[in-house]
Amino acid sequence: MDDRALAGDLATAAGELLLQIRVGGLAGKQLGKEGDMRSNEFLMAQLANRRPDDAVLSEESADDKSRLHADRVWIVDPVDGTREYGVPGRTDWAVHVALWSAEGGGTLIAGAVALPALGITYVDDDSVIEPTDGLASSPRGERPRVVVSGSRPPAFSQPVADAIGGTVLQMGSAGAKAMAVVRGEADAYVHAGGQYEWDSAAPVAVAEAKGLWCGRIDGSPLVYNRDDTYLPDLVICRPELRDKIIAVTSAG
């Protein structure tokens, strides 16, 4: 199985496991903790078995710095949006599985984002994704939507929306917000409240494959598999909106 197919299969399977755990009687923080642990155990075991020579960076495992010298590093978030996962009925949580390669100076070469509560997994290919349940699709004649964190919206949320003549919409999970832009249900996702590499690696791999622009709020590129995994800000948007958005987000 190639890397892209493996990323998709693992994200999907971890999502199915999380759905099973979710109906087991736990709730809130206890459910989130159990989901994080068991999804991480599943992903780490699968990667150890199926890609034993690759390194892994996971939110829920100790950071093995040998990855800094590895040719290939899987970057995973077993539950992106743990808080939303613990709330009955919430669908805006995800599983992220991405693969970074040292070739060419370092780049993401595969990625998958599963939205288990919606029964969807997106991978980094050029297939056409049809809008699904979640945010209602808006005709292009309507005002653009800028999705931001529901718990940590950036100060420039409204100025960004104003710059593109749009509106602000809050959601959970970086993966859910990024995939809303992929589906065309939103036009941009902006974030500056703090993230780590596992929060954005898989969503960025998918979004870039769909033709979206992805980068830092100052317009610089996103760099993965660094010693310091803190990657605090992110913009994912339709390419034609990039300059207007960066003009706002880079102004400080």
Task: Indicate if 99 and 184 belong to the same structural domain.
Answer: no
Are residue 50 and residue 158 in the same domain, yes or no?
A: no
Same domain, 76 and 177: no
**pLDDT at 128 exceeding the cut of 80:** no
Answer whether residue 134 is part of any domain: no
Domain annotation covers residue 236: yes
Distance (Å, rounded) from C-alpha 252 to C-alpha 248? 8
Amino acid at site 195: Q
33 shares its domain with 116:
yes
Which CATH number is 156's domain given? Answer: 3.40.190.80
Residue 133 included in any domain: no
Question: What whole-number percentage of the chain has pLDDT above 90?
Answer: 87
Residues 155 and 73 in one domain: no
Q: Are residues 189 and 237 in the same domain?
A: yes
Would you state the pLDDT for residue 141? 59
Q: Does some domain include residue 132?
A: no
Q: Which residues contact 69 (CB under 8 A, 6 or more apart)?
A: none
Contact in structure between 34 and 79 (CB atoms under 8 Å): no
Within-domain flag for 139:
no
Cβ(84)–Cβ(170) under 8 Å?
Answer: no
Q: How many structural domains are present in the chain?
A: 2
Q: Say whether pLDDT at 167 is over 60.
A: yes
157: Cα separation from own chain's centroid? 19
33: number of Cβ within 10 Å: 15
What pLDDT does residue 136 have?
A: 43
Could you tell me the pLDDT band of residue 134, with boundaries at 50, 70 and 90? very low
The domain in which residue 203 lies consists of: 145-249
Pair (89, 156) in one structural domain:
no
> What is the rounded average pLDDT of the residues 190-198?
96
Q: For residue 110, what pLDDT band results from cuts at 50, 70 and 90?
A: very high
Same domain assignment for residues 186 and 117: no
